[in-house]
Amino acid sequence: MALAKVCIGLLGFGTVGTGVVRLLTVERERLESRTGCTIQLKKVLVRNKNRPRKVLIDNRKLTTNSSDILDDPEIDVIIELVGGIDQAYRYILRALKNKKNVITANKDLMASYGDELLLEARKNKCDLCYEASVAGGIPILRTLTDSLAADRIQKMIGIVNGTTNYILSKMSHDGLSYEKALASAQALGFAEADPTSDVDGLDAARKMVILSHLAYSIPVKLDDVRITGITDVTKEDIAYAQKLGYTIKLVGISEVNNGTIDVRVEPTLLPNAHPLASVENENNAIYVYGSTLGETMYYGPGAGEGPTAVSVVSDLLLVIHDMKLGITGTHIFLPKREMHARKDNLVESQFFVRLHIMDQPGSFSRLTDLFKNQGISLEKLYQEPMVGQNAAEVSIVTHLTNKIQFEKSFDIMKKLDVVLNAKYFRVERG
């Protein structure tokens, strides 16, 4: 169909919104050349029209009334960048009911209400695009639904939170404590004043929900994800992992096998040779295992004004393409398979154990006998005395073992009178 002009309404004018406006202004000629139509940013929803902006915009385009955008019959596409869940949900639902195509970068919303909103989009023959909700500038969602559509995805491992990756990188390379590394991340703007969602793993978990939905066509919910954050990771944990040839990263893991799915976010030891082990600072990466293609990795900046704005505007080009062909809403991706979460007794992994043990005759043999009696074999072991204390530091990596069996053994080990303290992390095989 002929399409002379596309009108856009932007909800939110924060960091990403500024990047979107900048791109639509600076790259306007190139974008219009690619789409073959005029792209007009008609209205922008803001809280304060008089606030100074980092990008030049006609003040008459600013509004504090969402109805000026959501109910304007001339606006074809809504870009939602207000964040949060409840208000954003109401905005997007109203936009779709008004037959407007929607683009969002809102991972929290899509992880919580994505299925419902996608169904509403299909019902109203509208596009609902959300590439920017996961991994910023990395086009991983479209890769899963388009480029890898012919393959059967079996597993994904992702560093999908730049804040925690920056913190762990500083702890690993600069020897900073968790508290000092977090303060550095906050000073540079990589972490919020309240970093809870990032450091507790919730942000990464929401992204793994979205990725799992698209990769497996399974309606994964946030409650299905096992989540452990990084607040208990110490620089000593990282140092001892390094002595055994590993790097600690907060990774999201999603895997299907024999009709079950296991999705988790947790600090994990990666062999130093693993491609994800070299992903540093605020960067993100997703490692995908396909049954036919094999292993591929997608790497790049995971957040920020520029990368996220690029993903948003790329979604805009897709929407305009669909509008021109009259096919909006026809390729909405909805889950088709039932969700069966894998039970812990079916989960197998290697584990890294770090403990302090009393330096006295028989202590070490009691430890090794325990693992032997529980049927758990050890792959790596490192021991050194603790200076000035009658104790030794012991680091262990087990062979592949059942999670339930390991946790039972770990609980018994902690109760041994020769064990002073202990903790463990999962190990991802290379």
What tokens appear for 133 in the block? 């909700």
| Same domain flag for 256 and 149 | yes
CA angle 189, 192, 193 (to 5 degrees): 110
Assess if residue 352 is contained within a domain: yes
Q: Which residues are catalytic?
A: 207
What value does the mean pLDDT take over residues 397-404?
94
| Same domain flag for 173 and 241 | yes
What pLDDT does residue 11 have? 98
341-378 per-position pLDDT tens digit: 888 778 889 999 999 999 888 888 888 889 899 899 99
| Same domain flag for 179 and 292 | yes
Examine the pLDDT at 302 and tell me if it is beyond 80. Answer: no
Assess if residue 338 is contained within a domain: no
**Model confidence at 340, in pLDDT bands (50, 70, 90)?**
confident
The residue ranges of DSSP E strands in 14-163, in sequence order, are 38-45, 62-63, 77-80, 101-104, 128-129, 153-159
303-334 per-position pLDDT tens digit: 778 888 999 999 999 999 999 999 999 988 77
Q: How many domains does the chain divide into? A: 3
Assess if residue 336 is contained within a domain: no
| Same domain flag for 168 and 266 | yes
Instruction: Kindly report the average pLDDT of the chain as a whole number.
Output: 92
Last residue of a domain, one of 269, 301, 333: 301
What pLDDT does residue 360 have? 85
User: Could you give the dihedral angle defined by the CA atoms of residues 367, 373, 374 and 377, in that order, rounded to the nearest 10 degrees?
Assistant: 70
Question: Which pTM was predicted?
Answer: 0.91
| Same domain flag for 179 and 315 | no
Q: Which has more pLDDT, 300 or 124? A: 124
| Same domain flag for 269 and 321 | no
| Same domain flag for 146 and 295 | yes
What pLDDT does residue 1 have? 58
| Same domain flag for 313 and 225 | no
Assess if residue 34 is contained within a domain: yes
| Same domain flag for 126 and 151 | no
What pLDDT does residue 84 have? 92
List Cβ neighbours of 425 (8 Å cut-off, separation of 6 or more): 237, 241, 248, 266, 267, 268, 269, 351, 352
List Cβ neighbours of 426 (8 Å cut-off, separation of 6 or more): 266, 267, 268, 269, 349, 350, 351, 352
Q: Which has more pLDDT, 220 or 40? A: 40
Assess if residue 390 is contained within a domain: yes
CATH number for the domain including 231?
3.30.360.10
| Same domain flag for 309 and 253 | no
What tokens appear for 341 in the block? 């979460």
Assess if residue 331 is contained within a domain: no
**Model confidence at 427, in pLDDT bands (50, 70, 90)?**
very high
Burial of 82 (0-12, 13-18, 19+ CB in 10 A): buried
Q: Which residue segment(s) compose the domain that 177 sits in?
A: 140-301
Assess if residue 337 is contained within a domain: no
Q: How far does CA 372 lie from the centroid of its chain?
A: 38
What tokens appear for 302 in the block? 């995971």
What pLDDT does residue 2 have? 65
| Same domain flag for 69 and 53 | yes
| Same domain flag for 53 and 165 | no
CATH number for the domain including 350?
3.30.70.260
CATH number for the domain including 321?
3.40.50.720
Assess if residue 330 is contained within a domain: no
148-205 per-position pLDDT tens digit: 888 999 999 999 999 999 999 999 999 999 999 999 999 988 888 899 999 999 999 9
251-295 per-position pLDDT tens digit: 999 999 888 899 999 999 999 999 999 999 989 999 999 999 999
What tokens appear for 255 in the block? 């895997």
